[in-house]
Amino acid sequence: MIEEYQEYEEFDDEVEYYAVRPNKSQIKRDIAVLFDLGEELVGLSTAQLSALELPEELHKAVIGTVGMPPKGARKRQLKFICGLLRKLDVEPILEKLARIKNQSAHAAREHHKVERWRDRLISEGQDALTELIDEYPQTDRQLLRQLMRSAQKEAAEARPPKSSRELYRYLKELFEAESE
């Protein structure tokens, strides 16, 4: 029995090397992420796409996909975009895309802020106006009161909200001037 053990011991010096192949499941997950990125790129506007500064071939492929119906040709085009993305370093694209999304979220927050103030001014009247003037002292009080009265009158008479829109525009300009 000791002799058998020694035979196995002689083979311990030999090292066997195995080819390390990529994990197939991980490759599929990576491709799915790139496919989703491609779909996200297709959903962007032309101005946002040009801000990303994509390579020319990828940019043309994304622009070409925009008008396609969600059928086979679009899926093939998205697979082509995914293949182009696999050849690139997508980190800079992801960073720029995150900045674009953040700007969109910021714009939405600002829009909601202006809408809330407009609605408060129309519904609450003088109390909301006093609070707004306290926060933004450079406000044109006379114009703001005039727009508020007109918007309240339009709402009471169920007319189109022309003054309400003007009030929104004024508040938006006021908040933008304050943020700068």
Q: What is the pLDDT of residue 61?
A: 92
Smallest Cα–Cα separation from 92: which of 45, 39, 61, 52?
52
Q: Are residues 111 and 166 in the same domain?
A: yes
Residue 8 covered by a domain = no
Q: What is the pLDDT of residue 13?
A: 60
Q: Are residues 117 and 78 in the same domain?
A: no
Share of the chain above pLDDT 90, in %: 4
Host domain of residue 49: 24-95
User: Based on the structure, what is the number of domains in the chain?
Assistant: 2
Residue 129 covered by a domain = yes
Q: What is the pLDDT of residue 57?
A: 92
Give the contacts of 174 (CB within 8 A, at least 6 positions apart).
Answer: 136, 138, 139
User: What is d(CA 124, CA 112) in angstroms, rounded to the nearest whole number?
Assistant: 17
Could you give the maximum distance between any two Cα atoms of the chain, in Å? 107
Q: What is the pLDDT of residue 1?
A: 47
Q: Are residues 119 and 64 in the same domain?
A: no
User: What is d(CA 39, CA 112) in angstroms, rounded to the nearest whole number?
Assistant: 28
The pLDDT tens digits of the residues spanning 62-102 come to: 998 888 888 888 889 999 998 999 998 888 888 888 888 88
Residues lower than pLDDT 50 in the chain: 1
Q: How many helices (H) and strands (E) does the chain have?
A: 9, 0
Q: Are residues 108 and 79 in the same domain?
A: no
- The SS3 assignment for 165 reads helix
Residue 63 covered by a domain = yes
